[in-house]
Amino acid sequence: MRLTTRTNLALRTLMVCAVNPDRIVRKSDVAKAINASENHLAQVVNQLGQEGFLTTLRGRNGGFTLGMPAEEISVGRLFRKFEAELPFMECFTDDKICPLKGVCRVATPLHRAIEAFYAALDPVMLTELVECNAELDAILALAPSARMVKTAACSAESGAVARA
């Protein structure tokens, strides 16, 4: 299975927002951070807003922020929303007339496999992908001060765990 570019951009856009929680993020910020086209990103941001993953702000000082806390954003749910539009195989659509439809037995195990893939990602929250990940912060943090605060917080957290 291969994820679409839209799904990849959606996840990375949410990661940029999660790394910069106290900031209004702009498409140009995300495009630069993840090396993506602003035009393609605009479509993804629009869908993320419609699905409630982002809150969008219009106007000169507009941009977007996470539409819900990062710890509530399931990677499986995100992938389902973005991948649901595309059938896994041509025979999974109603408009294709496959000569094997009705006798082919590949659809059922493939549906189970796809559901197992999403089910494995359902418990993975956006927070898990970005918290205490200094290398990711170095790439996605839009302000240097945000990096230093996060690094200090993660160091303190790991020190507390080590002492316990």
DSSP string, 119-157: HHHTT-BHHHHHTT-HHHHHHH-SSHHHHHHHHHHHHHH
Beta bridge partners of residue 125, listed in sequence order:
74
Among the listed ranges 60-64, 70-74, 96-100, 115-119, which one has the minimum average pLDDT value?
Answer: 96-100
pLDDT digits (tens, 9 = 90+) for 29-79: 999 999 999 999 999 999 999 999 999 998 888 899 999 999 999 999 999
For residues 160 and 107, which has the higher predicted lDDT (pLDDT)?
Answer: 107
SS (H, E, C) 62-78: CEEEECCCHHHCEHHHH
Question: Can you give the pTM of this predicted structure?
Answer: 0.83
Give the model's pLDDT for residue 90: 63
The pLDDT tens digits for 132-159 are 999 999 999 987 655 555 555 676 665 4
Measured between its terminal Cα atoms, the distance across the chain in Å is 42
**Mean pLDDT value across the chain:** 85
**Domain residue limits, the chain:** 5-163
> Topology of domain 5-163, per CATH?
Arc Repressor Mutant, subunit A (1.10.10)
